[in-house]
Structure 1
Amino acid sequence: MVIKIGAKPTAPPAKPGLLFEAEKHLYRMNTFTNSPEYRRVSGVTTVIGSTLNKPALVDYKMNSVARAVRENLADVLAMHADVKASRLHPFDFDKKLIAMSEVRRDRAAARGTAVHAAAEKVADGQKVSVPKELQKPVDHYDKWLYDNDVEVVLKERPCGNRTHWYAGTFDLICKFHRGAYAGQTWMVDLKTSNQVYGETALQTIAYKNCEFYVDEDQIDRPMPEVEGIGVLHLTKEGAFLHPLGDMQAASDEFAAILLLFNSRKRRDGLIRRAS
């Protein structure tokens, strides 16, 4: 190897702490900063969603199936006739009915994604053009930023905790320069659903307790300190910030959920079932 006199050594490119496969919604995290070894890691929403009982979600799914049958009764009856005539397998009938019931959910998810994307640009001070039905939530977000003189510290960054082995992507870390929380820095989650729930405290505290985030240059950075956690509900009527209470209590609760999530295999192995 020949090294030219006066040449400066070049540092190898940084290896991001997290890799994300969007199609599978799958995170992989390396074992330490710049390590080439990556292992699969569970996302915060997966940890919470797989562990915490959500009666409102169960009711929503049941109501969605009932609505799908009512709104598509002729198609459902035709599919049922095909099952009776052995032209359609019962399993395929169930899959088609479930797909019908998820149309509204998928539309709502697409709407939420579009509002989030627009909100990210608004936070950068960009003017955005969105469909008419999304304009009001986006405008209210813009007004909320102005009214509270919000400084965007970080937005939409992957973050991870190697000690407790979980990861995710937070919406917003911001500092208020006006209003009730002036001078404070908060971790804020943006929601566009019909309702918001206190369980978002678990999500925001999990992000707050991450050890690092990955910046735009794919370099691991320490997470900023925050004094509060909250959920910002973006609706047609306005943007409403809901404080999510005591961070230590939320941290203890997420730790309990993480323990239950990580111990599933132990419980599943307690009883051997005949194959």
Structure 2
Amino acid sequence: MPEKISTIQRGGSRFYVNSGTCEKVPGVTTVVNMLPKPFLPRWSANMAAELAIDSLDYLAEMAQRDREGAIKYVAGAAYRYTKSRANIGSMAHDLFERMIRGEGRYTERDRSGGFAVRVHPDLEPYRANFAEFLDSVQPELIRAEDVAWSDTHKYAGSFDALLSIMDDDGTPVTVITDWKTSKSTYPDVALQMSAYGFADRLIDADGNSEPMPSIDGAAVLHITPDQWSFKPVRFDAEVFEHFLTLRRTFDWDRDVYKTVIGKPVASGGSSAIVTGTQRRGK
């Protein structure tokens, strides 16, 4: 029976829902986000400060008309930047999938049936660099944008690609791969890749399920408007165990913490006294 997969957002977390079993499990990225990010408050504050300094005259005029609006405008600087980068990343991922599936190879089909380059100007550098990656590495696509589902550990996630590439000895190897369009690559991509590769099975867009194939390794393609690099990523049981620790942390953060402190069995102090004024005010 096909198991169509959909995603939902609940409480700021993404969940994958299996239509066949009605099971709901957290997404891989949501689990990895359990990692602490102590740099984020300072980065967000710096974004707001830079916007304020660069827009002093504009903000002064805005504050005279709408003080709360000016505050929200400055406070939202980091969010707007992150959202704009996410939009570019989503469009780039869509383009990369079309290209690696061979849709016009490096171009898109036009209405006359020929092929012509038709991408948003902001995406053209990404297109050119991805095309260079395809020419240089010559990857063979095995799967793309399917869902890796773990029945054992209760999580799921959509990976970018499963590729066959040649190693240094000319031997084909199967590599779980992620496209990254951020400014840099970060170690937590190894957690993400291990979660996909150690899942129990793959579920395609039509809901067809099959066991996870044997995977030899993991890699990340870091691609920006200026350059691209194809980097191996550590892929082993130790890294996966760290991901599972975060999976358990997600359960704590989502549900378990609510259960650990009970109602008072005894209490005291002045706050325990309810005055007549307080009673009448209720």
SS, match of residue 243 in structure 1: strand
Task: Return closer, same or farther for 1:201/1:181 CA change in 2, 3 Å cut-off.
Answer: farther
CA contact (8 A) 1:150 1:178 kept: no
User: What is the aligned partner in structure 2 of residue 20 from structure 1?
Assistant: 7
Pair member with larger Rg? 2
SS, match of residue 132 in structure 1: coil
Summarize deviations over 1:212-263 as a string: whole Å, max 9, x none.
2222322112222211112110022322122122422211111111122212
2:35 paired with 1:52: yes
User: What is the aligned partner in structure 2 of residue 65 from structure 1?
Assistant: 48
CA contact (8 A) 1:147 1:178 kept: no
**TM-score, normalization by structure 1:** 0.78
User: What is the aligned partner in structure 2 of residue 212 from structure 1?
Assistant: 201
Of 158-167 and 194-203, deviating more is: 158-167
2:95 paired with 1:118: yes
The count of aligned residue pairs is 250
User: What is the aligned partner in structure 1 of residue 131 from structure 2?
Assistant: 142
Summarize deviations over 1:99-120 as a string: whole Å, max 9, x none.
3442222221111111111111
- Structure 1 unaligned segments of length 5 or more: list them: 1-13
2:189 paired with 1:200: yes
Task: Return closer, same or farther for 1:61/1:272 CA change in 2, 3 Å cut-off.
Answer: farther
User: What is the aligned partner in structure 2 of residue 8 from structure 1?
Assistant: none
**d(CA) in 1 for partners of 2:170 and 2:243?**
25
Displacement after TM superposition at 1:28 (Å):
3.8
CA contact (8 A) 1:160 1:166 kept: yes
User: What is the aligned partner in structure 2 of residue 189 from structure 1?
Assistant: 178
**d(CA) in 1 for partners of 2:60 and 2:261?**
41
Displacement after TM superposition at 1:69 (Å):
2.2
User: What is the aligned partner in structure 1 of residue 146 from structure 2?
Assistant: 157
The CA RMSD over aligned residues, in Å, is: 2.9
**d(CA) in 2 for partners of 1:246 and 1:101?**
32
CA contact (8 A) 2:7 2:15 kept: yes
**TM-score, normalization by structure 2:** 0.77
User: What is the aligned partner in structure 1 of residue 268 from structure 2?
Assistant: none
Identity fraction in percent: 24
CA contact (8 A) 1:28 1:38 kept: no
CA contact (8 A) 1:148 1:178 kept: no
User: What is the aligned partner in structure 2 of residue 42 from structure 1?
Assistant: 26
**d(CA) in 2 for partners of 1:22 and 1:271?**
28
SS, match of residue 178 in structure 2: strand
**d(CA) in 2 for partners of 1:133 and 1:108?**
11
**d(CA) in 2 for partners of 1:36 and 1:105?**
35
- Structure 2 unaligned segments of length 5 or more: list them: 109-117, 265-282
SS, match of residue 38 in structure 1: coil
User: What is the aligned partner in structure 2 of residue 245 from structure 1?
Assistant: 234
User: What is the aligned partner in structure 2 of residue 3 from structure 1?
Assistant: none
